[in-house]
Amino acid sequence: LTDRGKRVPLDNSPLQIFVKAKKKINDIFGEIEEYVKDTVEYMYEVEKEGKIVNKDQVRNIVEYVGKVHSIRDVLQRDHMKVAFFGRTSNGKSSVINAMLRDKILPSGIGHTTNCFLQVEGCPSDEPYLVLEGSEEHCAVESVGQLAHALCKEKLNESSLVKVFWPKNRCLLLRDDVVFVDSPGVDVTPNLDEWIDKHCLDADVFVLVANAESTLMVTEKNFFHKVSTKLSKPNIFILNNRWDASASEPEFLDQHCNEQEEVRKQHQERAIDFLVKELKVCTPKEAEERIFFISAKEVLQARMSEGKPVSVPLTEGFQTRYFEFQDFEKKFEECISKSAVKTKFEQHSQRGKFIANELRDLLEGIYNDALKLKEQKLSERKEVNDKINYTEQQLMLVTQEMKKKIHNMVEDVEQRVSKALSE
Ligand code: GDP
Residue 264 is predicted with a pLDDT of 93
Nearest to 78 by CA among 219, 158, 13, 175: 175
- Regarding the beta carbon of 94 and ligand 1, being less than 6 Å apart is answered yes
What is the maximum span of the chain, computed from C-alpha positions, in angstroms?
Answer: 164
Please, where are the H alpha helices in 78-142? 92-100
Nearest to 29 by CA among 354, 338, 300, 280: 354
Q: Regarding predicted confidence, which is higher, 11 or 162?
A: 162
On whether the CB atoms of residues 177 and 15 are closer than 8 A, the answer is: yes
Q: How would residue 76 be classed by pLDDT, with cut points 50, 70 and 90?
A: confident
Q: What is the pLDDT of residues 359-416, one digit of tens each?
A: 888 888 888 888 988 998 999 999 999 989 988 988 888 788 788 888 888 887 887 7
Residue 397 is predicted with a pLDDT of 80
Residue 321 is predicted with a pLDDT of 95
On whether the CB atoms of residues 105 and 119 are closer than 8 A, the answer is: yes
Rounded Cα gap, residues 118 and 131, in angstroms: 10
Residue 422 has pLDDT above 90, yes or no: no
Q: What is the pLDDT of residues 49-62, one digit of tens each?
A: 777 788 888 888 88
Please, where are the H alpha helices in 78-206? 92-100, 143-152, 171-174, 191-194
Averaged confidence pLDDT in the chain: 86
From the CA of 94, give the closest atom in ligand 1. Answer: 7
On whether the CB atoms of residues 365 and 57 are closer than 8 A, the answer is: yes
- Regarding the beta carbon of 294 and ligand 1, being less than 6 Å apart is answered yes
Q: Regarding predicted confidence, which is higher, 345 or 96?
A: 96
Residue 391 is predicted with a pLDDT of 87
β-bridge partners, 82 = 179, 204
Distance 295 CA to ligand 1 centre (A): 7
- Regarding the beta carbon of 247 and ligand 1, being less than 6 Å apart is answered no
Residue 189 is predicted with a pLDDT of 63
Residue 248 is predicted with a pLDDT of 64
Q: Secondary structure of 238-279 in the HEC alphabet?
A: EEECHHHHHCCHHHHHHCHHHHHHHHHHHHHHHHHHHHHHCC
Q: What is the complex's ipTM, to 2 decimals? A: 0.99
Q: How much is the average pLDDT of 180-192?
A: 83
- Regarding the beta carbon of 91 and ligand 1, being less than 6 Å apart is answered yes
Q: What is the pLDDT of residues 221-273, one digit of tens each?
A: 999 999 999 989 999 999 999 998 776 655 555 556 778 888 999 999 999 99
Query: What type of residue sits at position 244?
Result: A
Q: Regarding predicted confidence, which is higher, 1 or 35?
A: 35
On whether the CB atoms of residues 293 and 242 are closer than 8 A, the answer is: yes
Rg (C-alpha) for the chain, rounded Å, is 39
Distance 100 CA to ligand 1 centre (A): 15
Residue 148 has pLDDT above 80, yes or no: no
Residue 254 is predicted with a pLDDT of 55
Mode of pairing for the β-strands spanning 290-292 and 235-240 = parallel
Residue 78 has pLDDT above 50, yes or no: yes
Rounded Cα gap, residues 78 and 382, in angstroms: 61
Q: Regarding predicted confidence, which is higher, 1 or 70?
A: 70
- Regarding the beta carbon of 108 and ligand 1, being less than 6 Å apart is answered yes
- Among 107, 146, 181, name the best residue to mutate to test ligand 1's pocket (greatest count of ligand atoms within 8 A of Cβ): 107
Residue 8 has pLDDT above 60, yes or no: no
117 membership: H or E segment, kind and range? strand 116-122
- Among 85, 88, 92, 94, name the best residue to mutate to test ligand 1's pocket (greatest count of ligand atoms within 8 A of Cβ): 94
Report CA torsion sign: 386, 387, 392, 397.
Answer: positive
* Range with the largest mean pLDDT of 91-105, 125-139, 182-196, 390-404: 91-105
70 membership: H or E segment, kind and range? helix 55-77
